[in-house]
Amino acid sequence: MYTANMTPEEIDHESKADLENILAKRDYKKIEFRRKVLKAKQFPVTMRYEQRTVRKNRWFITMLALSKKNINQPLTSIYCIHESSNGKFVYELSQDDRDNVQTIVYKPHFFSRYKERMGIEECSEAVIHKLMNRVGPMTVKFHSLENGNEGIVVALEEGLGFGESYRFRTVHLIRTYVSKEMLFNDQIEHFDNGESIRNYDIKQMKKDWGIREKFDLSEKKNEVKAKFYDMKLNFAKLRTLAPEIYNEELERSVSELYSVFDFIIEEFQKEGSSKE
């Protein structure tokens, strides 16, 4: 069972000891979730269930399908809520890979700051469930601290969690929370939204933008070009003003995504011309 005074090594051991039981139950529940998605007429579709392991840890597994394409690969969050005399601890598994499991620990001070900065009276379980439910993969950034340790920044829906990483990046202790309002607008807007753009569904893009038979996309293409150009400028600002949360890999992904977008638009236009 997780306890408040565990060392990073003990946390890592506890997570790995529970992992097989968690994944076995998750795989079983995937069958039920698949049926639910198959019958769904509206999206997103979610399912959350609780599992108490033999080690007396209380785990929650949430599955999310944004569309039918997630029927076999739902977006999954796995986390344990532990009540202690010091307050709430949450242990989130960032990756359900048996050979490379990582544990992100949200400590009581994190929830104290979250409550204060989000203007809520209590960090109830409902609040924690909302905080832990992610759309897409987790985004983290590592950086060096003045004390010689390795720092970590975790992107959450309404802000950033700050902490330290231990045990060869297998255990991360998140100690405090900073809301979007407390940081530079560019930092949060493009750190969070970059991940959303990378996971954006091309089919949904066509639907959102109302692409018709004529495939008249010149105006939209210029609009998106301008947005990508603005993002590139903001990445340049991040490199200078906030190197601790600058993400080179994310900037590269945004550039690659624009190249793909440009190609897709050209193909749509060719297809439209051939139909006329």
Whole-structure pTM value: 0.66
Q: Is residue 1 part of a domain?
A: no
- Are residue 167 and residue 196 in the same domain, yes or no? no
Long-range contacts of 225-230 (CB under 8 A, 24+ apart): 225/258, 228/254, 228/258, 228/261
- Are residue 131 and residue 143 in the same domain, yes or no? yes
- Are residue 40 and residue 136 in the same domain, yes or no? yes
Region 123-133: what's the mean pLDDT?
A: 87
CB distance 43 to 201 below 8 Å: no
- Are residue 158 and residue 34 in the same domain, yes or no? yes
CB distance 15 to 96 below 8 Å: no
- Are residue 174 and residue 192 in the same domain, yes or no? no
Find the domain containing 24 and state its range: 8-182
Q: Is residue 58 part of a domain?
A: yes
**How many structural domains compose the chain?**
2
* 102 closest CA partner among 76, 129, 138: 138
- Are residue 100 and residue 121 in the same domain, yes or no? yes
- Are residue 112 and residue 226 in the same domain, yes or no? no
Q: Is residue 2 part of a domain?
A: no
Domain end call among 157, 182, 207:
182
- Are residue 139 and residue 264 in the same domain, yes or no? no
Q: Is residue 117 part of a domain?
A: yes
Q: What tens digit of pLDDT does each residue of 157-195 get?
A: 677 888 999 988 899 999 988 877 766 554 455 355 444
What percent of the chain stands above pLDDT 70? 61
Q: What tens digit of pLDDT does each residue of 25-50 get?
A: 999 999 999 999 999 999 989 999 99
- Are residue 147 and residue 208 in the same domain, yes or no? no
- Are residue 168 and residue 268 in the same domain, yes or no? no
